[in-house]
Amino acid sequence: MTTVSRVGITRRLAASVWGLRYDEIPATALEVARHCLVDFLGCALAGAREPLVEILIAEVAEPERATSASLIGRSERAAPMTAALINGAAGHALDFDDTHTTMTGHPSVPVLPALLALAEAEGTSGRQLLGALVAGVELECRLGALMGVPHYATGFHATATLGAFGAAAACAHLLALDEGQWLHALGLAATQAAGLRASFGTMAKPLHAGRAASNGLLAVLLARRGFTSQPAIVEAAHGFAATHGTPDVSEDLLETYAGRFLIRDTLFKYHAACYLTHAAVEAARALRTDHAIDAATISAVEVRVAPPVLDVCNIAAPRTGLEAKFSLPATTALALRGDDTADPATYSDERVREASLIMLRDRVRVTADSTLAPTQARVTVEANGQRLASEADTGIAAADLTAQGERLGRKFRALAAPVLGNDRATQLAAVAGNVDELASIEPLLRLVRANGRSASPEAAGKGARNA
């Protein structure tokens, strides 16, 4: 039975962020927020030419013929909610965007597309944008803590479900809604929240992020006009918690996070695949580098991971590049061969079907190990009569934010330069990295828009294809 208090979980959740002000946010949290913006823009630019984005533009944007909101990496424009949908899908198309273990999902990709579309309409400053981003991420991560493992284990994609709350919270913060509007906005976001993990490895997964962004924005715009919903949507009977896998929730858990800024724990991807494959990839890369392993001499590979990981990214014989992103055997084999796992083009349908990769992939055995956390992996390789092992843990947020920023800068340029050109990509990185200095975000939006209609995939660069 759902726990209900006098204050109410939904209200307390909203109250944890609705009064948040830019000047109260620690410098480290603001720096990570800037990293989130830069990283999202790079991923969305590279994803803007993906087939799924082309389909969404043809079926949704073009018939509307609206021009009020920017599409990242495109010259077409759209209505704000459509822009949030398409930019969210583009940002998640390569599965290369940031992640968060408390949310068990991708925090920025449902929030920023909604915020950017709203900020463009409202003439928002960079400080307002960044403060609202932090508010959105904080709320969706706190809700993720309340819902816990059961929500994800039930089969819901947290980026889609919790992300709708995050997008609504960010937009409500940007518009400075009153308490009643906040609660109705969250209720409207919740009643639209959907997204199933069964869709992983297909175009539907990026659609989840776009829908979360669009639905969150819609929820706030409706609430601002007086549209009502259940104001206690998380804890209500037949509400979000009860129907989404976690009937026993308590607001007491929120005390654990009081005064903390969870955005600081955001994890960034440096391999263009599901984050739960990253520890195995890192361990495999270390083995190849440290021991100069020739992939042709490998006779057997064992990958040990936490049991829940097997339920997410253990497609044994992927048929497409999208499926390979959720395949520990395939991603481990790619790393052991020395393929560039940071390049989205590596995860192409053609690469996945290469005989040499399939041969090595089929020598990879994935085993559950309950002593490991989901972000840990142990990889053992048998080659040339030797048995070599390595471990990795990709669940620790970076301590050195300067180094993280530099690494993300390199990632951004690799993704953005093929779309915008080197000079413009460098300029955009600088503007996004100092977004809170902008009186209006229009200079940022001007840089993310493509000059021509739709450059060919080849002109946009191989990194934007076959994710």
User: What is the dotted CATH code of the domain comprising 9-265?
Assistant: 1.10.4100.10
Q: Cα 29 from chain centroid?
A: 18
Q: Which residues of the chain have pLDDT under 50?
A: 1-6, 452-467
- Residue 376: strand, helix, or coil: strand
Helix ranges (DSSP H) in 176-231: 179-192, 204-224
Q: What is the sign of the dihedral through the CA atoms of 137, 141, 147 and 149?
A: positive
pTM as predicted? 0.92
Quick check: 153 and 120 in contact, CB under 8 A? no
Domain with CATH 3.30.1330.120 in the chain: 275-393
Task: Supply the pLDDT for residue 456.
Answer: 36
d(CA 15, CA 20): 9
The set of residues, in sequence order, having a beta carbon less than 8 Å from that of 20 and lying 6+ positions away, is: 131, 134, 135, 138, 173
Q: CATH number of the domain at 275-393, out of 1.10.357.10, 3.50.30.30, 3.30.1330.120, 3.40.50.300?
A: 3.30.1330.120
Quick check: 291 and 166 in contact, CB under 8 A? no
Fill in the amino acid letter for 3: T
Task: Supply the pLDDT for residue 45.
Answer: 98
Domain with CATH 1.10.4100.10 in the chain: 9-265
d(CA 217, CA 116): 10
Task: Supply the pLDDT for residue 251.
Answer: 80
d(CA 336, CA 293): 8
Task: Supply the pLDDT for residue 7.
Answer: 57
